[in-house]
Structure 1
Amino acid sequence: MTSLPQAKRFNWSNLGLRVASAAVMGPAVLVAAWFGGWPFLVLIAVGVALLSIEWGGMSAPRAPTRISGAVTVAVLAAVFLSYQGHDLLAWGAVVAGALAAALVARGVAERPADAAFGVAYIAPACVCLIWLRSTNQGEWWTLMLFLVTWSADIGAFAVGSALKGPKLWPRFSPNKTWSGFVGGLGCAALMGALIALPSALDIPLPQAVMPGFQLNLWAAALIGLAVGLATMAGDLWESALKRRFGVKDSGDLIPGHGGLLDRVDGLMFAVVVMAIARLANQWGWGH
Protein backbone atom coordinates (compact mmCIF):
# COMPACT_ATOMS: atom_id res chain seq x y z
CA MET A 1 0.00 0.00 0.00
CA THR A 2 1.40 3.38 -1.01
CA SER A 3 1.92 5.75 1.93
CA LEU A 4 0.63 9.30 1.85
CA PRO A 5 3.18 11.98 0.85
CA GLN A 6 4.83 13.86 3.67
CA ALA A 7 4.21 17.58 4.16
CA LYS A 8 6.76 20.08 3.01
CA ARG A 9 8.77 21.92 5.61
CA PHE A 10 7.34 25.22 6.73
CA ASN A 11 9.24 28.33 5.70
CA TRP A 12 10.29 29.78 9.05
CA SER A 13 11.98 32.84 7.56
CA ASN A 14 8.84 35.00 7.72
CA LEU A 15 7.63 33.82 11.13
CA GLY A 16 8.62 37.13 12.76
CA LEU A 17 6.56 39.07 10.22
CA ARG A 18 3.57 36.77 10.79
CA VAL A 19 3.72 37.23 14.56
CA ALA A 20 4.14 41.01 14.29
CA SER A 21 1.21 41.31 11.89
CA ALA A 22 -1.00 39.22 14.17
CA ALA A 23 0.07 41.26 17.22
CA VAL A 24 -1.09 44.46 15.52
CA MET A 25 -4.27 43.20 13.89
CA GLY A 26 -5.57 40.92 16.64
CA PRO A 27 -6.09 43.50 19.43
CA ALA A 28 -7.60 46.01 16.99
CA VAL A 29 -10.16 43.46 15.81
CA LEU A 30 -11.03 42.39 19.36
CA VAL A 31 -11.51 45.97 20.58
CA ALA A 32 -13.78 46.85 17.65
CA ALA A 33 -15.78 43.65 18.10
CA TRP A 34 -16.16 44.16 21.85
CA PHE A 35 -17.44 47.73 21.66
CA GLY A 36 -19.47 47.18 18.48
CA GLY A 37 -21.29 50.15 16.97
CA TRP A 38 -19.78 52.20 14.18
CA PRO A 39 -16.13 51.13 14.81
CA PHE A 40 -17.17 47.53 14.17
CA LEU A 41 -19.17 48.55 11.10
CA VAL A 42 -16.22 50.54 9.71
CA LEU A 43 -13.89 47.59 10.31
CA ILE A 44 -16.19 45.29 8.36
CA ALA A 45 -16.72 47.83 5.56
CA VAL A 46 -12.97 48.28 5.12
CA GLY A 47 -12.54 44.51 5.14
CA VAL A 48 -15.24 44.13 2.48
CA ALA A 49 -13.50 46.63 0.21
CA LEU A 50 -10.11 44.92 0.60
CA LEU A 51 -11.53 41.42 0.11
CA SER A 52 -13.39 42.58 -3.00
CA ILE A 53 -10.22 44.09 -4.44
CA GLU A 54 -8.38 40.82 -3.87
CA TRP A 55 -11.24 38.83 -5.40
CA GLY A 56 -11.30 41.04 -8.48
CA GLY A 57 -7.55 40.68 -8.88
CA MET A 58 -7.69 36.89 -8.63
CA SER A 59 -10.84 36.13 -10.60
CA ALA A 60 -10.99 38.91 -13.20
CA PRO A 61 -7.48 39.84 -14.39
CA ARG A 62 -8.80 41.68 -17.46
CA ALA A 63 -11.16 43.97 -15.54
CA PRO A 64 -10.28 43.73 -11.82
CA THR A 65 -11.41 47.26 -10.91
CA ARG A 66 -14.93 46.90 -12.29
CA ILE A 67 -15.47 43.48 -10.75
CA SER A 68 -14.04 44.62 -7.42
CA GLY A 69 -16.34 47.65 -7.47
CA ALA A 70 -19.40 45.56 -8.28
CA VAL A 71 -18.65 43.05 -5.52
CA THR A 72 -17.93 45.83 -3.01
CA VAL A 73 -21.21 47.63 -3.67
CA ALA A 74 -23.22 44.41 -3.54
CA VAL A 75 -21.70 43.21 -0.27
CA LEU A 76 -21.83 46.62 1.43
CA ALA A 77 -25.52 46.94 0.57
CA ALA A 78 -26.18 43.69 2.43
CA VAL A 79 -23.93 44.74 5.33
CA PHE A 80 -25.67 48.09 5.87
CA LEU A 81 -29.12 46.50 5.66
CA SER A 82 -28.07 43.93 8.27
CA TYR A 83 -26.61 46.65 10.50
CA GLN A 84 -29.98 48.44 10.40
CA GLY A 85 -31.70 45.23 11.51
CA HIS A 86 -33.24 44.36 8.13
CA ASP A 87 -31.94 40.80 8.01
CA LEU A 88 -34.34 39.42 5.39
CA LEU A 89 -33.63 42.38 3.11
CA ALA A 90 -29.91 41.82 3.67
CA TRP A 91 -30.11 38.24 2.42
CA GLY A 92 -32.21 39.39 -0.51
CA ALA A 93 -29.50 41.94 -1.29
CA VAL A 94 -26.92 39.13 -1.37
CA VAL A 95 -28.87 37.34 -4.10
CA ALA A 96 -29.58 40.54 -6.05
CA GLY A 97 -25.97 41.69 -5.69
CA ALA A 98 -24.62 38.39 -6.98
CA LEU A 99 -26.83 38.69 -10.06
CA ALA A 100 -25.79 42.31 -10.60
CA ALA A 101 -22.09 41.42 -10.31
CA ALA A 102 -22.58 38.67 -12.87
CA LEU A 103 -24.12 41.17 -15.29
CA VAL A 104 -21.19 43.55 -14.80
CA ALA A 105 -18.73 40.72 -15.46
CA ARG A 106 -20.57 39.72 -18.60
CA GLY A 107 -20.37 43.30 -19.84
CA VAL A 108 -16.56 43.37 -19.52
CA ALA A 109 -15.92 39.90 -20.95
CA GLU A 110 -15.18 38.27 -17.60
CA ARG A 111 -16.74 35.10 -16.18
CA PRO A 112 -20.14 35.98 -14.64
CA ALA A 113 -20.13 32.96 -12.33
CA ASP A 114 -16.85 34.05 -10.70
CA ALA A 115 -18.16 37.57 -10.04
CA ALA A 116 -21.41 36.23 -8.61
CA PHE A 117 -19.50 33.78 -6.43
CA GLY A 118 -17.39 36.64 -5.07
CA VAL A 119 -20.55 38.18 -3.61
CA ALA A 120 -21.86 34.81 -2.42
CA TYR A 121 -18.48 34.07 -0.81
CA ILE A 122 -17.89 37.34 1.03
CA ALA A 123 -21.39 38.63 1.89
CA PRO A 124 -22.82 35.77 4.02
CA ALA A 125 -19.88 35.89 6.43
CA CYS A 126 -20.26 39.66 6.83
CA VAL A 127 -24.03 39.51 7.34
CA CYS A 128 -23.66 36.69 9.89
CA LEU A 129 -20.95 38.65 11.72
CA ILE A 130 -23.15 41.76 11.95
CA TRP A 131 -26.09 39.67 13.19
CA LEU A 132 -23.98 37.73 15.71
CA ARG A 133 -22.68 40.94 17.30
CA SER A 134 -26.21 42.41 17.49
CA THR A 135 -27.65 39.53 19.53
CA ASN A 136 -27.93 39.48 23.31
CA GLN A 137 -24.40 39.23 24.71
CA GLY A 138 -23.18 39.39 21.15
CA GLU A 139 -19.83 40.75 22.29
CA TRP A 140 -19.11 37.44 24.01
CA TRP A 141 -20.25 35.31 21.10
CA THR A 142 -18.14 37.38 18.72
CA LEU A 143 -15.15 37.16 21.05
CA MET A 144 -15.64 33.40 21.21
CA LEU A 145 -15.73 33.26 17.40
CA PHE A 146 -12.39 35.00 17.01
CA LEU A 147 -10.63 33.17 19.84
CA VAL A 148 -11.79 29.73 18.69
CA THR A 149 -10.89 30.47 15.05
CA TRP A 150 -7.44 31.72 15.98
CA SER A 151 -6.92 28.76 18.32
CA ALA A 152 -7.73 26.37 15.47
CA ASP A 153 -5.21 28.12 13.20
CA ILE A 154 -2.47 28.28 15.84
CA GLY A 155 -3.08 24.73 17.03
CA ALA A 156 -2.98 23.36 13.50
CA PHE A 157 0.25 25.23 12.77
CA ALA A 158 1.97 24.28 16.04
CA VAL A 159 1.00 20.59 16.08
CA GLY A 160 1.50 20.17 12.34
CA SER A 161 4.95 21.79 12.49
CA ALA A 162 5.98 19.64 15.45
CA LEU A 163 4.61 16.26 14.35
CA LYS A 164 4.43 16.69 10.56
CA GLY A 165 3.32 13.42 8.95
CA PRO A 166 0.95 12.70 6.04
CA LYS A 167 -0.55 15.58 4.11
CA LEU A 168 -4.20 16.43 4.59
CA TRP A 169 -4.97 17.45 0.98
CA PRO A 170 -1.74 17.45 -1.02
CA ARG A 171 -3.35 18.44 -4.31
CA PHE A 172 -4.33 21.89 -3.06
CA SER A 173 -2.46 22.50 0.20
CA PRO A 174 0.94 20.78 0.42
CA ASN A 175 1.83 22.11 3.90
CA LYS A 176 -1.26 20.99 5.83
CA THR A 177 -1.10 17.68 7.66
CA TRP A 178 -3.50 15.31 9.39
CA SER A 179 -1.66 15.92 12.67
CA GLY A 180 -2.23 19.66 12.30
CA PHE A 181 -5.88 19.06 11.47
CA VAL A 182 -6.45 17.06 14.66
CA GLY A 183 -4.40 19.52 16.72
CA GLY A 184 -6.38 22.46 15.41
CA LEU A 185 -9.70 20.81 16.24
CA GLY A 186 -8.51 19.96 19.73
CA CYS A 187 -7.37 23.52 20.43
CA ALA A 188 -10.64 24.94 19.08
CA ALA A 189 -12.75 22.68 21.31
CA LEU A 190 -10.57 23.48 24.30
CA MET A 191 -10.86 27.23 23.73
CA GLY A 192 -14.64 26.94 23.46
CA ALA A 193 -14.76 25.10 26.78
CA LEU A 194 -12.43 27.59 28.47
CA ILE A 195 -14.67 30.51 27.56
CA ALA A 196 -17.68 28.81 29.16
CA LEU A 197 -15.73 27.46 32.15
CA PRO A 198 -16.39 30.35 34.60
CA SER A 199 -20.15 30.11 34.24
CA ALA A 200 -20.08 26.31 34.23
CA LEU A 201 -18.17 26.25 37.54
CA ASP A 202 -20.20 29.14 39.02
CA ILE A 203 -17.05 31.22 39.39
CA PRO A 204 -18.22 34.68 40.49
CA LEU A 205 -17.21 37.37 38.03
CA PRO A 206 -18.11 41.07 37.94
CA GLN A 207 -21.25 41.66 35.91
CA ALA A 208 -19.31 44.14 33.77
CA VAL A 209 -16.93 41.32 32.79
CA MET A 210 -19.35 38.48 32.10
CA PRO A 211 -22.97 39.57 32.67
CA GLY A 212 -24.81 36.28 32.94
CA PHE A 213 -23.04 34.57 30.03
CA GLN A 214 -24.56 31.10 30.29
CA LEU A 215 -23.39 28.30 28.05
CA ASN A 216 -23.17 24.65 28.94
CA LEU A 217 -19.55 23.46 29.07
CA TRP A 218 -20.13 20.53 26.71
CA ALA A 219 -22.14 22.71 24.33
CA ALA A 220 -19.30 25.24 24.31
CA ALA A 221 -16.75 22.53 23.52
CA LEU A 222 -18.98 21.18 20.75
CA ILE A 223 -19.38 24.68 19.30
CA GLY A 224 -15.61 25.10 19.45
CA LEU A 225 -15.14 21.80 17.62
CA ALA A 226 -17.68 22.72 14.92
CA VAL A 227 -16.23 26.21 14.46
CA GLY A 228 -12.73 24.73 14.31
CA LEU A 229 -13.83 22.28 11.63
CA ALA A 230 -15.37 25.15 9.65
CA THR A 231 -12.12 27.09 10.01
CA MET A 232 -10.14 24.21 8.51
CA ALA A 233 -12.70 23.81 5.72
CA GLY A 234 -12.54 27.51 4.87
CA ASP A 235 -8.75 27.40 4.73
CA LEU A 236 -8.77 24.41 2.40
CA TRP A 237 -11.49 25.94 0.23
CA GLU A 238 -9.45 29.10 -0.30
CA SER A 239 -6.41 26.98 -1.16
CA ALA A 240 -8.50 25.28 -3.85
CA LEU A 241 -9.69 28.66 -5.16
CA LYS A 242 -6.13 29.99 -5.41
CA ARG A 243 -5.08 26.86 -7.26
CA ARG A 244 -8.00 27.35 -9.66
CA PHE A 245 -7.05 30.96 -10.36
CA GLY A 246 -3.32 30.16 -10.53
CA VAL A 247 -2.14 32.44 -7.70
CA LYS A 248 0.03 31.74 -4.66
CA ASP A 249 -1.58 34.35 -2.39
CA SER A 250 -4.74 36.42 -2.67
CA GLY A 251 -2.65 39.57 -2.28
CA ASP A 252 0.29 41.09 -0.41
CA LEU A 253 -1.52 43.38 2.06
CA ILE A 254 -0.41 41.69 5.30
CA PRO A 255 3.32 41.11 5.80
CA GLY A 256 4.06 37.42 6.27
CA HIS A 257 0.48 36.36 5.54
CA GLY A 258 -0.25 37.49 1.98
CA GLY A 259 -3.65 39.02 1.36
CA LEU A 260 -6.53 39.63 3.74
CA LEU A 261 -8.39 36.68 2.25
CA ASP A 262 -5.43 34.48 3.19
CA ARG A 263 -5.89 35.63 6.78
CA VAL A 264 -9.69 35.36 7.12
CA ASP A 265 -10.44 32.39 4.87
CA GLY A 266 -11.24 30.15 7.82
CA LEU A 267 -13.16 32.87 9.62
CA MET A 268 -15.52 33.28 6.65
CA PHE A 269 -16.78 29.72 7.11
CA ALA A 270 -16.49 29.76 10.91
CA VAL A 271 -18.75 32.77 11.44
CA VAL A 272 -21.61 31.07 9.58
CA VAL A 273 -21.32 28.02 11.85
CA MET A 274 -21.12 30.24 14.94
CA ALA A 275 -24.23 32.13 13.83
CA ILE A 276 -26.10 28.83 13.48
CA ALA A 277 -24.95 27.82 16.97
CA ARG A 278 -26.08 31.18 18.37
CA LEU A 279 -29.47 30.78 16.74
CA ALA A 280 -29.82 27.30 18.25
CA ASN A 281 -28.81 28.74 21.64
CA GLN A 282 -31.56 31.35 21.37
CA TRP A 283 -34.02 28.49 20.88
CA GLY A 284 -32.86 26.95 24.17
CA TRP A 285 -29.98 24.66 23.20
CA GLY A 286 -26.78 24.72 25.23
CA HIS A 287 -28.07 26.36 28.42
Structure 2
Amino acid sequence: MALKVGDIGIRAASAVVLAPAAVLATWAGGVWFLALILIACALLAVEWAMMSAPGAWRMMTGAVALGLFAAVVTAHVGQLSLALVLLVFGAGAAGVFARSRGQEALNAAYGVLYLGWPAVLLIWLRDDHSPIGLNWTVLVFAVAWASDILAYLVGSAVGGPKLWPRFSPNKTWSGFIGGLAAGMIAGAGMAHWLEMGRLNILWGAVLGLAAALATMAGDLWESGLKRRFGVKDAGNLIPGHGGLMDRVDGLMFAVVVVALGRWLVILLERAA
Protein backbone atom coordinates (compact mmCIF):
# COMPACT_ATOMS: atom_id res chain seq x y z
CA MET A 1 0.00 0.00 0.00
CA ALA A 2 1.42 3.40 -0.94
CA LEU A 3 1.94 5.94 1.81
CA LYS A 4 -0.97 8.41 1.55
CA VAL A 5 0.56 11.76 2.50
CA GLY A 6 -2.74 13.63 2.25
CA ASP A 7 -4.50 11.16 4.53
CA ILE A 8 -1.66 11.37 7.05
CA GLY A 9 -1.91 15.18 6.95
CA ILE A 10 -5.63 15.08 7.79
CA ARG A 11 -5.01 12.62 10.61
CA ALA A 12 -2.19 14.76 12.00
CA ALA A 13 -4.32 17.93 11.87
CA SER A 14 -7.12 16.18 13.75
CA ALA A 15 -4.67 14.98 16.39
CA VAL A 16 -3.22 18.49 16.81
CA VAL A 17 -6.70 19.84 17.54
CA LEU A 18 -7.99 17.05 19.81
CA ALA A 19 -4.92 15.69 21.59
CA PRO A 20 -4.11 18.84 23.64
CA ALA A 21 -7.58 18.88 25.21
CA ALA A 22 -7.29 15.22 26.18
CA VAL A 23 -3.76 15.71 27.52
CA LEU A 24 -4.66 18.79 29.58
CA ALA A 25 -7.73 17.13 31.09
CA THR A 26 -5.69 14.03 31.91
CA TRP A 27 -2.96 16.11 33.55
CA ALA A 28 -5.47 18.16 35.57
CA GLY A 29 -7.34 15.07 36.79
CA GLY A 30 -10.32 15.43 39.11
CA VAL A 31 -13.50 16.82 37.60
CA TRP A 32 -11.66 17.73 34.40
CA PHE A 33 -10.75 14.13 33.67
CA LEU A 34 -14.22 13.04 34.72
CA ALA A 35 -15.71 15.56 32.27
CA LEU A 36 -13.44 14.25 29.49
CA ILE A 37 -14.56 10.66 30.08
CA LEU A 38 -18.25 11.61 30.33
CA ILE A 39 -18.09 13.59 27.07
CA ALA A 40 -16.34 10.66 25.39
CA CYS A 41 -18.99 8.26 26.75
CA ALA A 42 -21.79 10.45 25.40
CA LEU A 43 -20.23 10.61 21.93
CA LEU A 44 -19.46 6.89 21.90
CA ALA A 45 -23.02 6.10 22.99
CA VAL A 46 -24.31 8.11 20.02
CA GLU A 47 -22.03 6.27 17.62
CA TRP A 48 -22.91 2.88 19.06
CA ALA A 49 -26.63 3.60 18.86
CA MET A 50 -26.38 4.85 15.27
CA MET A 51 -24.52 1.68 14.28
CA SER A 52 -26.60 -0.86 16.19
CA ALA A 53 -30.06 0.74 16.14
CA PRO A 54 -30.18 3.38 13.37
CA GLY A 55 -33.98 3.43 13.41
CA ALA A 56 -34.17 4.34 17.10
CA TRP A 57 -30.74 5.77 17.78
CA ARG A 58 -31.88 8.67 19.96
CA MET A 59 -33.65 6.42 22.47
CA MET A 60 -30.82 3.89 22.44
CA THR A 61 -28.23 6.62 22.96
CA GLY A 62 -29.99 7.62 26.16
CA ALA A 63 -30.23 4.05 27.43
CA VAL A 64 -26.56 3.28 26.77
CA ALA A 65 -25.29 6.64 28.01
CA LEU A 66 -27.24 6.39 31.28
CA GLY A 67 -25.58 3.09 32.12
CA LEU A 68 -22.16 4.50 31.27
CA PHE A 69 -22.62 7.72 33.27
CA ALA A 70 -23.76 5.89 36.42
CA ALA A 71 -20.73 3.58 36.39
CA VAL A 72 -18.18 6.28 35.54
CA VAL A 73 -19.35 8.73 38.21
CA THR A 74 -19.36 5.92 40.79
CA ALA A 75 -15.78 5.00 39.85
CA HIS A 76 -14.81 8.67 40.14
CA VAL A 77 -15.86 8.78 43.81
CA GLY A 78 -13.63 5.79 44.53
CA GLN A 79 -16.14 2.93 44.40
CA LEU A 80 -14.65 0.71 41.70
CA SER A 81 -16.40 -2.50 42.73
CA LEU A 82 -19.77 -0.78 42.85
CA ALA A 83 -19.06 0.86 39.50
CA LEU A 84 -18.49 -2.53 37.89
CA VAL A 85 -21.69 -3.88 39.43
CA LEU A 86 -23.61 -0.85 38.13
CA LEU A 87 -22.12 -1.44 34.71
CA VAL A 88 -23.61 -4.93 34.63
CA PHE A 89 -26.98 -3.69 35.88
CA GLY A 90 -26.84 -0.82 33.39
CA ALA A 91 -26.24 -3.29 30.57
CA GLY A 92 -29.22 -5.36 31.69
CA ALA A 93 -31.45 -2.30 31.96
CA ALA A 94 -30.40 -1.07 28.51
CA GLY A 95 -31.18 -4.50 27.07
CA VAL A 96 -34.64 -4.60 28.65
CA PHE A 97 -35.36 -1.08 27.39
CA ALA A 98 -34.18 -1.97 23.88
CA ARG A 99 -36.43 -5.02 23.75
CA SER A 100 -39.41 -2.95 24.92
CA ARG A 101 -38.80 -0.65 21.95
CA GLY A 102 -38.49 -3.45 19.43
CA GLN A 103 -34.69 -3.30 19.22
CA GLU A 104 -32.02 -5.94 19.80
CA ALA A 105 -31.51 -6.29 23.55
CA LEU A 106 -28.08 -7.87 23.16
CA ASN A 107 -26.76 -4.96 21.10
CA ALA A 108 -27.77 -2.41 23.73
CA ALA A 109 -26.45 -4.46 26.64
CA TYR A 110 -23.18 -5.19 24.88
CA GLY A 111 -22.76 -1.50 24.05
CA VAL A 112 -22.82 -0.57 27.74
CA LEU A 113 -20.24 -3.23 28.62
CA TYR A 114 -18.03 -2.66 25.57
CA LEU A 115 -17.81 1.09 26.15
CA GLY A 116 -18.08 1.03 29.93
CA TRP A 117 -15.26 -1.26 31.03
CA PRO A 118 -12.43 0.89 29.60
CA ALA A 119 -14.10 4.12 30.80
CA VAL A 120 -14.37 2.86 34.39
CA LEU A 121 -10.83 1.46 34.35
CA LEU A 122 -9.43 4.72 32.98
CA ILE A 123 -10.98 6.54 35.94
CA TRP A 124 -9.38 3.97 38.26
CA LEU A 125 -5.98 4.30 36.58
CA ARG A 126 -6.00 8.11 36.85
CA ASP A 127 -6.83 7.84 40.60
CA ASP A 128 -6.39 11.33 42.05
CA HIS A 129 -5.56 9.82 45.45
CA SER A 130 -2.46 8.07 44.09
CA PRO A 131 0.73 10.08 43.41
CA ILE A 132 1.45 7.88 40.38
CA GLY A 133 -2.08 7.65 38.97
CA LEU A 134 -1.19 10.16 36.26
CA ASN A 135 1.88 8.12 35.31
CA TRP A 136 -0.17 4.96 34.74
CA THR A 137 -2.61 6.92 32.60
CA VAL A 138 0.25 8.38 30.56
CA LEU A 139 1.57 4.84 30.08
CA VAL A 140 -1.66 3.53 28.57
CA PHE A 141 -2.02 6.53 26.24
CA ALA A 142 1.63 6.37 25.18
CA VAL A 143 1.53 2.66 24.37
CA ALA A 144 -1.83 2.77 22.56
CA TRP A 145 -0.98 5.87 20.53
CA ALA A 146 2.55 4.71 19.67
CA SER A 147 1.42 1.27 18.53
CA ASP A 148 -1.52 2.68 16.57
CA ILE A 149 0.53 5.37 14.79
CA LEU A 150 3.50 3.13 13.99
CA ALA A 151 1.24 0.34 12.79
CA TYR A 152 -0.37 2.74 10.34
CA LEU A 153 2.90 4.30 9.17
CA VAL A 154 4.82 1.04 8.80
CA GLY A 155 1.89 -0.72 7.18
CA SER A 156 1.39 2.14 4.71
CA ALA A 157 5.09 2.43 3.85
CA VAL A 158 6.07 -1.24 3.76
CA GLY A 159 2.83 -2.98 2.84
CA GLY A 160 3.05 -6.73 2.35
CA PRO A 161 0.72 -9.59 3.28
CA LYS A 162 -2.62 -8.67 4.83
CA LEU A 163 -3.18 -9.38 8.51
CA TRP A 164 -6.89 -10.30 8.38
CA PRO A 165 -8.36 -9.29 5.02
CA ARG A 166 -11.80 -10.64 5.83
CA PHE A 167 -12.42 -8.01 8.51
CA SER A 168 -9.81 -5.32 7.86
CA PRO A 169 -8.40 -5.37 4.31
CA ASN A 170 -5.97 -2.48 4.86
CA LYS A 171 -4.02 -3.89 7.81
CA THR A 172 -0.78 -5.72 7.14
CA TRP A 173 1.60 -7.97 9.04
CA SER A 174 4.32 -5.35 8.68
CA GLY A 175 2.12 -2.78 10.40
CA PHE A 176 1.22 -5.29 13.09
CA ILE A 177 4.88 -5.97 13.88
CA GLY A 178 5.72 -2.26 13.80
CA GLY A 179 2.88 -1.53 16.21
CA LEU A 180 4.03 -4.23 18.65
CA ALA A 181 7.60 -2.92 18.60
CA ALA A 182 6.41 0.64 19.19
CA GLY A 183 4.25 -0.42 22.13
CA MET A 184 7.09 -2.37 23.73
CA ILE A 185 9.47 0.58 23.41
CA ALA A 186 6.86 3.00 24.75
CA GLY A 187 6.17 0.74 27.75
CA ALA A 188 9.88 0.42 28.56
CA GLY A 189 10.38 4.17 28.14
CA MET A 190 7.51 5.10 30.44
CA ALA A 191 8.74 2.64 33.09
CA HIS A 192 12.20 4.22 32.86
CA TRP A 193 11.18 7.89 32.88
CA LEU A 194 8.18 7.80 35.22
CA GLU A 195 7.65 6.46 38.73
CA MET A 196 5.57 3.30 38.29
CA GLY A 197 6.00 1.56 41.62
CA ARG A 198 7.70 -1.82 41.14
CA LEU A 199 7.34 -1.70 37.34
CA ASN A 200 10.91 -1.71 35.96
CA ILE A 201 12.07 -1.32 32.36
CA LEU A 202 11.88 -5.05 31.57
CA TRP A 203 8.36 -5.47 32.89
CA GLY A 204 7.41 -2.14 31.35
CA ALA A 205 8.42 -3.55 27.97
CA VAL A 206 6.42 -6.73 28.62
CA LEU A 207 3.37 -4.72 29.66
CA GLY A 208 3.83 -2.44 26.65
CA LEU A 209 3.97 -5.43 24.33
CA ALA A 210 0.82 -6.91 25.86
CA ALA A 211 -1.00 -3.58 25.68
CA ALA A 212 0.12 -3.07 22.08
CA LEU A 213 -1.23 -6.52 21.21
CA ALA A 214 -4.50 -5.52 22.89
CA THR A 215 -4.50 -2.30 20.86
CA MET A 216 -4.20 -4.26 17.62
CA ALA A 217 -6.90 -6.68 18.80
CA GLY A 218 -9.23 -3.81 19.69
CA ASP A 219 -8.80 -2.32 16.23
CA LEU A 220 -9.61 -5.63 14.57
CA TRP A 221 -12.53 -6.25 16.92
CA GLU A 222 -14.13 -2.95 15.99
CA SER A 223 -13.58 -3.72 12.31
CA GLY A 224 -15.55 -6.91 12.87
CA LEU A 225 -18.33 -4.98 14.63
CA LYS A 226 -18.56 -2.47 11.78
CA ARG A 227 -18.73 -5.30 9.28
CA ARG A 228 -21.53 -6.89 11.30
CA PHE A 229 -23.54 -3.66 11.32
CA GLY A 230 -22.71 -2.89 7.69
CA VAL A 231 -20.96 0.46 8.21
CA LYS A 232 -17.59 1.73 6.99
CA ASP A 233 -16.87 4.01 9.97
CA ALA A 234 -18.37 4.29 13.44
CA GLY A 235 -19.09 7.96 12.71
CA ASN A 236 -17.67 11.06 11.05
CA LEU A 237 -16.72 13.16 14.06
CA ILE A 238 -12.95 13.25 13.43
CA PRO A 239 -11.64 14.08 9.91
CA GLY A 240 -9.26 11.39 8.70
CA HIS A 241 -10.28 8.98 11.46
CA GLY A 242 -14.05 8.57 11.15
CA GLY A 243 -15.82 8.45 14.49
CA LEU A 244 -14.45 8.68 17.99
CA MET A 245 -14.80 4.92 18.32
CA ASP A 246 -12.53 4.51 15.30
CA ARG A 247 -9.92 6.55 17.15
CA VAL A 248 -10.11 4.86 20.57
CA ASP A 249 -10.97 1.26 19.65
CA GLY A 250 -7.45 0.06 20.38
CA LEU A 251 -7.13 2.23 23.48
CA MET A 252 -10.26 0.64 24.92
CA PHE A 253 -8.60 -2.79 24.90
CA ALA A 254 -5.20 -1.48 26.00
CA VAL A 255 -6.74 0.11 29.10
CA VAL A 256 -7.90 -3.29 30.34
CA VAL A 257 -4.40 -4.79 29.98
CA VAL A 258 -2.64 -1.85 31.66
CA ALA A 259 -5.20 -1.84 34.49
CA LEU A 260 -4.45 -5.53 35.02
CA GLY A 261 -0.75 -4.68 35.06
CA ARG A 262 -1.25 -2.00 37.69
CA TRP A 263 -3.37 -4.34 39.80
CA LEU A 264 -0.58 -6.95 39.73
CA VAL A 265 1.98 -4.30 40.74
CA ILE A 266 -0.24 -3.28 43.66
CA LEU A 267 -0.50 -6.92 44.79
CA LEU A 268 3.30 -7.29 44.62
CA GLU A 269 3.81 -4.13 46.66
CA ARG A 270 1.39 -5.32 49.32
CA ALA A 271 3.06 -8.71 49.51
CA ALA A 272 6.57 -7.22 49.83
SS in 1 for 2:55: coil
CA deviations 1:216-244 (Å, max 9, x no partner) are 11000001001100000000000000000
Aligned-pair CA distance for 1:213: 5.6
CA distance in 2 between counterparts of 1:19 and 1:214 reads 35
Question: Residue 125 of structure 1 contacts residue 271 of structure 1 at CA under 8 Å; is this kept in 2?
Answer: yes
1:124 matched to 2:124? The reply is no
Residue number in structure 1 paired with 2:265: 281
**Partner of residue 252 from structure 1, selected from 236, 252, 266:** 236
1:144: which partner in 2? 139
Q: Note the aligned Cα RMSD (angstroms).
A: 1.6
Alpha carbons 1:66, 1:104 under 8 Å: kept: no
- Give 1:215 deviation, angstroms: 2.6
| Structure (1 or 2) with the greater helix fraction | 2
> What's 1:204 paired with?
none
- Aligned with 2:39 (options 18, 23, 46): 46
Q: Does 1:98 align with 2:82?
A: no
For 1:88, which of 81, 88, 94 is the aligned residue? 81
Return the offset for 1:197. Answer: 2.4
* In the alignment, structure 1 residue 221 sits paired with structure 2 residue 205: yes
Gaps of 5+ in 1: 1-7, 199-209
Equivalent residue for 1:207?
none
The residue identity in structure 2 corresponding to 1:70 is A
Match of 1:270 among 243, 250, 254: 254
- Of structures 1 and 2, the larger Rg is shown by 1
Contact in 2 for aligned 1:160/1:181 (Cα 8 Å): yes
How far 1:196 sits from its partner (Å)? 2.1
Shift of 1:69: 0.5
- Percent identical across equivalent pairs? 51
**CA 1:107–1:278 in 2, change beyond 3 Å: closer, same or farther?**
same
Residue number in structure 2 paired with 1:170: 165
**Runs of 5+ unmatched residues, structure 2:** none
Structure 1 residues 179, 100: CA separation in 2 closer, same or farther (over 3 Å shift)?
same
Larger mean CA deviation between 102-111 and 9-18 belongs to 9-18
Q: CA deviation at 1:211?
A: 6.0
Question: Is the CA contact (8 Å cut-off) linking 1:35 and 1:139 kept in structure 2?
Answer: no
Task: Give the one of 108, 111, 115 matched to 1:115.
Answer: 108
Residue 238 of structure 1 is matched in structure 2 by 222
Task: Report the Cα distance in structure 2 between the residues aligned to 1:251 and 1:161, rounded to whole angstroms.
Answer: 23
2:34 counterpart SS class: helix
Deviation string for 1:158-192 (max 9, x for gaps)?
Answer: 21112111000000100000111011000100011
| Secondary structure at 2:169 match in 1 | strand
Alignment CA distance shift 1:280-1:97 (3 Å): same
Q: Is the 8 A contact 1:125 1:269 kept in 2?
A: yes
Structure 1 counterpart of 2:179: 184
**Runs of 4+ residues over 2 Å off in structure 1:** 8-15, 210-215
